[in-house]
A and B are shown apart, each in its own frame.
Chain A
């Protein structure tokens, strides 16, 4: 798809905070936004003698996610210590999983209904559990040399999901993240709030450049500090261009010495550039070894099957089903499914009771989503139930109200909380009696001989001016019906 002389190679590492009540190895709360260092105990602040106990629930959420990502679940998994010194790491090591992670070799399918890229299967190397570090707050900007540390986050369960370098563009990277976040939301394992840090992304990127001597790879950069999916997309695009420019200048390839090693860069959202980061002192060797304080976890195959059976319908399957059952396009199913399970349920109720999937899809996408946006609310808190909206859509189907006026009815329903029928009555909308409509039609035709002439000449568009006049006389006139009636009368003249 690119006219550039290189291919972009991206792999993503996603850290997801699992939504448990308590931390991974102690019983402290994981609630966000509490006063600093109030959600701590001897275990999570690494007091001498304190010992970890695995939170079963966190493991279950990890398992659920791993199964949904088509990962293999080994029978035996263990915990390892990743040793490094940092002030927000009170034990001096992170409890993670090194050589025997809880899951490996899975995939996630991504596609773009707008056709930006071909559908593809992104391989997932592994997903493993680990405990989160605390937060360091540096006051250097304020001219102080002090740093402050909040250990509330320390020990929060994280699932690290590592993709293979299968992504070929910043768009694909964004699509992967969007689909992953959707899946996690459907599973209910994380709130995926990037602002609060419950979903964090690091991107590994390099280029395969076409040269007369064949393809060469540029040194890999790991990009951190990307605080939104948009930031990821932009950072990846920036980094690709930067690497190409650097390569054109110095021709340093991956693995060359010096300069060919992996570097760490941070995304500066203000300046929209990636900046080289100081290498962490200890990052070269984490001295992983099995944590002697914890027992290995044995996962039985029937446990995995049970989790699989309880997953429920996941986004990809749901899109396909909406398309076949309700006759909507991939684009529409994508929009609806991406809004989450509850909106899908709303849509399905509407589509089923009106037996018109497309009309239901239009209303949900345009009117319902617009209103939710305006009200900054979610479908679960939306004042118009699917049944109530179905009543309105049925009135349209019955010709009791036209589509344009139905929008007014909808707004009235939102405003007052009335049912469709009551809202129509309140707006004075009622079906115009057939004989009354015919009378009005004849009257207007008589008064507008020019229109009659045009109609006879086959210029059916001329009826438009009559509709306008009719609506002025009686706003309830149904334009479609009125048009048909005029044409019929003129035909008989």
Chain B
């Protein structure tokens, strides 16, 4: 049995007893990347030397008898939205193609402190906006289960690299479903923790009140391991929750007796793929066979979730992305060209004697802003910046932003009410399995509907996990979503582990 079939938890045991060194393990994964990533395209940046240097240092410390961190030599892939000191962080955007952060994100600091080996930065939709990773400015990522399929997004690279055994652990981010939908599409386990559970410091913001980093891995146990390493209160993130972090690895194997599962009618509506529907219903039966009690719950406002999300998130994005203006860092338009263009325009207007247009002409500063942002942002980013700027404008604010905030609160109240009666809400992660690359290029709205089942958790700030629960007739994985009340990640992990003890969907690998 190849090392590559081991879960991270199993690998950690091998590392600890010395059956394999961090260096050896890192080499195995680097070789796997070398061999497969040309076809998959999960990574934007792999720095073998950096990874091996880290791995060697960890091995030396182990040999010296030092106490190692929680991840003690396990390779971890990181979505390219988390700032890494001295290591390019692009967010999948031309805007930050050359951007080398002078600091590490708190998540990166924690990974380093846990003695993880940072193996590479994974591909993503530009600024995490999208559901297929096709919005990356640099490359497409292919789904290891079918190379003509999308891995999902925005954390497409993060999910694909685990599915293709190019990393045992991976950190993604989830703003509207960006960990769970790719996890579902790629047949891996991925969690969006409660908003505030994992520090956002150094996570390049898309929508600040939604963004949350979280783990992707083969099994719930592994997710527990990685979450334990990256979770915790962070004084430099004001929105980080000051609550203790439980030991997820200690509790993940404890089954939940009398687990109360809620099924929301709203999760089984029109458009739900038949294969997905039957796989999810089967999964519910598995839980029932383990003694779970299933009852119906209602999330009446979830029908407004997509609309609400696509108001608030773009509003925040329009402001968060204002800093990319070509002045201080990142991409800037060619200044000579720009000045020549302005001079040309001025000349033409002067010759035509068009006073009004001359007066209204851009200053060179404004033109620099326009050109820089036009050239370096992709169409989806521009679309959302425009949506957000519009919704925040005087005269529209109340009708859009303020209204959306009110609905957001109602969605949260739906969950509060539901979690009075049940421990977890169970349903599909996505309505369909992975769709074909290019399939939704001309249709941003149906791409937005990808978030249908996932986005409510971000609106409500609750925790949710996606785990594999079947394979469709086309041979594509199906994702099961479990949602829990805030800071109930333990329940999610324990229930997911229960399921993975009874089934082997999570061990299935693409050929």
Cβ distance B393 to chain A, nearest Cβ, rounded Å? 6
Does B134 reach chain A (CB closer than 8 Å)?
A: no
The verdict on A47 contacting B103 (CB below 8 Å), with A90-B327, A289-B401, A292-B208 known, is yes
Which single member of A46, A54, A281 contacts B323 (CB below 8 Å)?
A46
Partner-binding segment picked from B36-44, B300-308, B361-369, B434-442: B361-369
Which single member of A47, A53, A281, A287 contacts B236 (CB below 8 Å)?
A53
Report chain A residues within 8 Å CB of B393.
285, 287
Does B325 reach chain A (CB closer than 8 Å)?
A: yes
Does B459 reach chain A (CB closer than 8 Å)?
A: no
Report chain B residues within 8 Å CB of A284.
394
Does B12 reach chain A (CB closer than 8 Å)?
A: no
Report chain A residues within 8 Å CB of B205.
48-49, 293
Does B17 reach chain A (CB closer than 8 Å)?
A: no
The verdict on A293 contacting B323 (CB below 8 Å), with A47-B102, A49-B205 known, is no
Report chain A residues within 8 Å CB of B99.
48
Report chain B residues within 8 Å CB of A45.
328
What band does the interface of chain A fall in when counting residues whose beta carbon is under 8 Å from B? 20 to 34
In the bound assembly, the distance between CA atoms of A47 and B101 in angstroms comes to 8
Does B238 reach chain A (CB closer than 8 Å)?
A: yes
In the bound assembly, the distance between CA atoms of A85 and B103 in angstroms comes to 25
Cβ distance B105 to chain A, nearest Cβ, rounded Å? 6
Cβ distance B233 to chain A, nearest Cβ, rounded Å? 12
Does B444 reach chain A (CB closer than 8 Å)?
A: no
Cβ distance B83 to chain A, nearest Cβ, rounded Å? 5
Contact between chains at A289 and B315 (CB < 8 Å): yes
Cβ distance B142 to chain A, nearest Cβ, rounded Å? 27
In the bound assembly, the distance between CA atoms of A83 and B393 in angstroms comes to 11
Which single member of B102, B239, B319 contacts A92 (CB below 8 Å)?
B319
Of residues 84 through 109 on chain B, the ones whose CB sits less than 8 Å from some CB of chain A are 89, 91, 96, 99, 101-103, 105
Report chain A residues within 8 Å CB of B365.
87
In the bound assembly, the distance between CA atoms of A281 and B360 in angstroms comes to 11
Report chain B residues within 8 Å CB of A294.
238-239
Does B389 reach chain A (CB closer than 8 Å)?
A: yes
Contact with B along A136-178 (1 / 0, CB 8 A): 0000000001000100000000000000000000000000000
Cβ distance A67 to chain B, nearest Cβ, rounded Å? 25
Does B316 reach chain A (CB closer than 8 Å)?
A: yes
Does B55 reach chain A (CB closer than 8 Å)?
A: no
Partner-binding segment picked from B45-53, B195-203, B417-425, B467-475: B195-203
Does A91 reach chain B (CB closer than 8 Å)?
A: yes
Of residues 180 through 194 on chain B, the ones whose CB sits less than 8 Å from some CB of chain A are none
Closest to A82 in B: B319
Does B258 reach chain A (CB closer than 8 Å)?
A: no
Contact between chains at A52 and B89 (CB < 8 Å): no
Does A259 reach chain B (CB closer than 8 Å)?
A: no
Does A42 reach chain B (CB closer than 8 Å)?
A: yes
Report chain A residues within 8 Å CB of B397.
287-289
Report chain A residues within 8 Å CB of B235.
53
Which single member of B82, B203, B392 contacts A83 (CB below 8 Å)?
B392
In the bound assembly, the distance between CA atoms of A401 and B369 in angstroms comes to 76
Contact with B along A42-83 (1 / 0, CB 8 A): 100111111111100000000000000000000000000101
Cβ distance B325 to chain A, nearest Cβ, rounded Å? 6
Contact with A along B112-124 (1 / 0, CB 8 A): 0000000000000
What band does the interface of chain B fall in when counting residues whose beta carbon is under 8 Å from A? 35 or more
Contact between chains at A92 and B238 (CB < 8 Å): no
Does A295 reach chain B (CB closer than 8 Å)?
A: yes
Does A93 reach chain B (CB closer than 8 Å)?
A: yes
Of residues 263 through 314 on chain A, the ones whose CB sits less than 8 Å from some CB of chain B are 281, 284-285, 287-289, 292-295
Report chain B residues within 8 Å CB of A49.
82-83, 101, 105, 200-205
Of residues 275 through 324 on chain B, the ones whose CB sits less than 8 Å from some CB of chain A are 315-316, 318-319, 321-323
In the bound assembly, the distance between CA atoms of A417 and B474 in angstroms comes to 99
The verdict on A289 contacting B392 (CB below 8 Å), with A47-B329, A81-B319, A90-B328 known, is yes
Report chain A residues within 8 Å CB of B392.
83, 287-289
Contact between chains at A85 and B102 (CB < 8 Å): no
Cβ distance A269 to chain B, nearest Cβ, rounded Å? 25
Contact with A along B363-407 (1 / 0, CB 8 A): 011100100000000000000000001001110010001000000
Closest to A48 in B: B204
Contact between chains at A50 and B202 (CB < 8 Å): yes
Contact between chains at A292 and B239 (CB < 8 Å): yes
Does B237 reach chain A (CB closer than 8 Å)?
A: yes
Of residues 74 through 124 on chain A, the ones whose CB sits less than 8 Å from some CB of chain B are 81, 83, 85, 87, 90-93
Which single member of B102, B201, B322 contacts A51 (CB below 8 Å)?
B201
Report chain A residues within 8 Å CB of B327.
87, 90, 149
Report chain B residues within 8 Å CB of A281.
366
In the bound assembly, the distance between CA atoms of A237 and B186 in angstroms comes to 72
Contact between chains at B237 and A51 (CB < 8 Å): yes
Does B209 reach chain A (CB closer than 8 Å)?
A: yes
In the bound assembly, the distance between CA atoms of A87 and B364 in angstroms comes to 12
Report chain A residues within 8 Å CB of B239.
51, 292-295
Cβ distance B394 to chain A, nearest Cβ, rounded Å? 5
Report chain A residues within 8 Å CB of B319.
81, 83, 92-93, 287, 289
In the bound assembly, the distance between CA atoms of A161 and B251 in angstroms comes to 54
Which single member of A47, A52, A93 contacts B322 (CB below 8 Å)?
A93
In the bound assembly, the distance between CA atoms of A48 and B323 in angstroms comes to 8
Closest to B397 in A: A289
Contact between chains at B83 and A48 (CB < 8 Å): yes
Closest to A284 in B: B394
Report chain A residues within 8 Å CB of B238.
51-54, 293-295
Of residues 254 through 283 on chain B, the ones whose CB sits less than 8 Å from some CB of chain A are none
The verdict on A42 contacting B208 (CB below 8 Å), with A81-B319, A294-B238, A295-B238 known, is no
In the bound assembly, the distance between CA atoms of A93 and B317 in angstroms comes to 12
Report chain A residues within 8 Å CB of B237.
51, 53
Contact between chains at A90 and B323 (CB < 8 Å): yes
Report chain B residues within 8 Å CB of A91.
322-323
Contact between chains at B364 and A145 (CB < 8 Å): yes
In the bound assembly, the distance between CA atoms of A91 and B323 in angstroms comes to 5
3 smallest A-B Cβ distances: which pairs? A92-B322, A292-B208, A287-B392
Known: A87-B327, A145-B364, A149-B327. 18 other contacts (CB 8 A): A42-B102, A47-B103, A47-B329, A48-B204, A49-B83, A49-B202, A50-B201, A51-B236, A54-B238, A85-B325, A285-B393, A285-B394, A289-B397, A289-B401, A292-B208, A292-B316, A293-B238, A295-B238
Interface residues of A (CB under 8 A from B): 42, 45-54, 81, 83, 85, 87, 90-93, 145, 149, 281, 284-285, 287-289, 292-295
> Can you list 19 A-B pairs, Cβ within 8 angstroms, ordered by A?
A45-B328, A48-B204, A49-B200, A49-B201, A51-B236, A83-B322, A85-B369, A87-B325, A91-B322, A284-B394, A287-B392, A288-B392, A289-B315, A289-B316, A289-B319, A289-B397, A292-B316, A293-B239, A294-B238
